[in-house]
Amino acid sequence: MADKILIIDDDVDTLRLVGLMLQRQGYEISAASNGSQGLAKALEERPDLILLDVMMPDMDGYEVTRRLRKNPVTVTIPILMFTAKTQLDDKVIGFEVGADDYLTKPTHPTELQAHVKALLARTVHKEPAKVTAPVQEKQGYVIGVLSVRGGLGVSSLAANLAAGLFSRTQSDVILAELTPGQGTLGMDLGAPNPKGLTELLQGSVVEITREKVQASLVPHNSGLKLFLASENPRDVTLTSQVPNYEAIVSRLASLARFVVMDLGTGLPSFVQKILPMCRERIVVVEGVPSTIQHTKLLIENMASLQIDPKSISVILNNRQRSESQIAWTQVQEKLGHSIASTLTPAPELFMQATRMQTPAVMSQPTNMTSQQFLKIADAILEREKAR
């Protein structure tokens, strides 16, 4: 199999001419026209060698090299800097940030070929499984919780389900809130000003390492590990960073036995990508005709994403004591999907839990509604053991 060379250069002529020349030597060529694109391709493609320009407008080659060397996935890929910067200091900086070799433009094609061949020859090629170690790590049981609109209790269900799983197993459980600009769990659980999700979504996808995600987790006195969304409304624009979301969820899954995710409302692009990564999907509904109809459409849309309807559990959350609530049997009939569990109204329980800054399951474990959360957790445990 031919060695793959990734060329990162903002000069189109260099990309074309050097790429063609190396391709004629039997190498497989990939190209990127700026530093950010190059980092993403390096992570995705794992080339055998990177040919890197220094002077680029968005991110220079030195910074690209620093980031490649910080990421465990790309740390061993040999880097040949190929640039018009000829000063000795420029070369020294290149080697200091982690380049393996340095050539100045213009150079004879034969010289470039010799350097490429020598670098590849002295590089110990690792098996792909070793290079992509993070993918091999044991993945936890990932659960996504969502609803068709806000105010139906998605955050409460996610928090109490996570607490129930921790209570039953005493193993690592991550409660992850993936709704930037709409975070509430930080305030409810006494962990203000969360920055982890925002920082990871703002950065480059190649920087989302297992170690960096782990450092973003906030330990809570309930025993849970929290991965929280910000409260700043402007951060809602970060939901467009879909590749970052995929990397974050993959890393979270390697850090705990269970990951319970608050996915918010509807099916934005990032949720559509994350749902197939989940072992289970929980949809929260209330007994109101319009909400039932919209939830039915939500479930149909989820099925169109090649998600097995059997992996979708519907929880009927009766948040208020009201005679107008539709019985669960009627909700099930109108929805066309079975109701896995029903939660009874317990406003006093949740008020006390908020004052104590802990999930309701922890504040009053014997309460009827707490017991209903625990039963949902028990059912998930049974399915997790059977996988």
133, 161, 187 - which closes a domain: 133
Same domain for 277 and 161: yes
CATH of the domain at 289: 3.40.50.300
pLDDT at position 95? 86
What is the value of pTM for the model shown?
A: 0.67
CATH of the domain at 30: 3.40.50.2300
Same domain for 202 and 154: yes
Integer-rounded Cα radius of gyration of the chain: 25
CA distance 160 to 154: 10
Q: Identify which of 373, 381, 331 has the alpha carbon closest to the alpha carbon of residue 353.
A: 373
Helix (H) or strand (E) holding 359: none
| DSSP tag of 34 | S
95, 113, 133 - which closes a domain: 133
Same domain for 359 and 238: yes
**pLDDT above 70 for 127:** no
Helix (H) or strand (E) holding 159: helix 154-169
pLDDT at position 132? 40
Average pLDDT, the chain: 89
pLDDT at position 126? 43
- Domain extent, residue 38, equals 4-133
Give me the number of domains the chain comprises: 2
Same domain for 342 and 202: yes
Question: Please, which pLDDT band fits residue 306 given cuts at 50, 70 and 90?
Answer: confident
Same domain for 366 and 337: yes
**pLDDT above 80 for 84:** no
**pLDDT above 50 for 125:** no
pLDDT at position 227? 96
Same domain for 117 and 255: no
Same domain for 109 and 147: no
Same domain for 88 and 25: yes
Mean of pLDDT values over 145-152: 94
133, 153, 181 - which closes a domain: 133
In Å, how far are 160, 168, 351, 368, 369 from 346, measured between CA atoms? 13, 22, 9, 9, 7
CA distance 196 to 193: 10
Same domain for 142 and 122: no
Same domain for 308 and 215: yes
Q: Identify which of 125, 257, 273 has the alpha carbon closest to the alpha carbon of residue 205.
A: 273
Mean of pLDDT values over 304-330: 84
**pLDDT above 80 for 328:** yes
pLDDT tens profile 10-48: 888 888 888 899 999 999 999 998 988 888 899 888 999
CA distance 254 to 217: 13
Q: What is the token pair recorded at 86?
A: 């000829």
CA distance 63 to 71: 13
CA distance 142 to 217: 16
% of the chain residues with pLDDT over 70: 93
CA distance 24 to 36: 27
pLDDT tens profile 222-253: 999 999 999 999 999 999 999 999 999 999 99
Same domain for 46 and 83: yes
pLDDT tens profile 269-300: 999 999 999 999 999 999 999 999 999 999 99
Same domain for 277 and 178: yes
